[in-house]
Copies of this chain bind each other. A is one copy, B any other.
């Protein structure tokens, strides 16, 4: 799947996401916000200009979100995004209302719609996290030209091949065919057991 596929998945398969902004005291605030459209330039959502959410978006121009599908934990898929946002204003509102007709039930009149404004998440990184697979599956992606960062646990050349890490890996995702061992990043839970158990400090978190 391409980055655009993940963004489309959020809009079309999940739609209602939980987003996070940060208040003046640098503490997080969450809310349920629908992702109403996607294209090769990012994700689109709307909010009312009267909300504290609007002020927090304008202040830092950054948003994190997780979109989740699945009734229970072991069958859940979560797609998370972190990225830069910008306000596009009212112009795109009629288009978003047409694509999301249920919005008419919340803002029924033309006049009440004018409380709203559109934001775009135009550059960011994301992660697909699928707990329904065994071992779990994790895929990173970026969009809008954001730099790709490799996050997770990595085994360095200091590895002596003792097997301590592989023995405690809950996902059995450490390949021990050659030294240094290799962590299969796409199946790693990021629990850190391998780093804790390595007797020579060969596992690092990046």
For the complex, is A170 an interface residue (Cβ under 8 Å from B)? yes
Q: Which of A3-11, A12-20, A86-94, A178-186 contacts B (4 or more CB under 8 A)?
A: A12-20
In the complex, chain A residues 1-59 whose Cβ is within 8 Å of any chain B Cβ? 15-22, 26-32, 34, 48-52
Q: Bound complex: CA of A62 vs CA of B63, how far in Å?
A: 18
- Using CB atoms, name the residue of chain B closest to A65: B30
Let me know if B115 and A193 touch, CB within 8 A.
Answer: yes
Total chain A interface residues with beta-carbon distance under 8 A? 64
Q: Bound complex: CA of A199 vs CA of B23, how far in Å?
A: 30
- How many of these chains are in the complex? 2
Let me know if B80 and A106 touch, CB within 8 A.
Answer: no
For the complex, is A177 an interface residue (Cβ under 8 Å from B)? no
For the complex, is A156 an interface residue (Cβ under 8 Å from B)? no
For the complex, is A169 an interface residue (Cβ under 8 Å from B)? yes
Q: A188 to nearest B CB, angstroms?
A: 10
Let me know if A29 and B109 touch, CB within 8 A.
Answer: no
Q: A192 to nearest B CB, angstroms?
A: 1
Tell which of B66, B73, B109, B167 touches A31, judged by Cβ atoms closer than 8 Å. B66
Let me know if B168 and A111 touch, CB within 8 A.
Answer: yes
Let me know if B20 and A115 touch, CB within 8 A.
Answer: no
Let me know if B29 and A64 touch, CB within 8 A.
Answer: yes
For the complex, is A196 an interface residue (Cβ under 8 Å from B)? yes
Q: Bound complex: CA of A32 vs CA of B18, how far in Å?
A: 10
Q: Bound complex: CA of A151 vs CA of B31, how far in Å?
A: 15
Q: A83 to nearest B CB, angstroms?
A: 10
For the complex, is A148 an interface residue (Cβ under 8 Å from B)? no
What are the 9 A-B residue pairs with the smallest beta carbon separation, nearest first? A50-B192, A20-B20, A18-B18, A20-B28, A48-B191, A112-B170, A28-B64, A30-B66, A115-B191
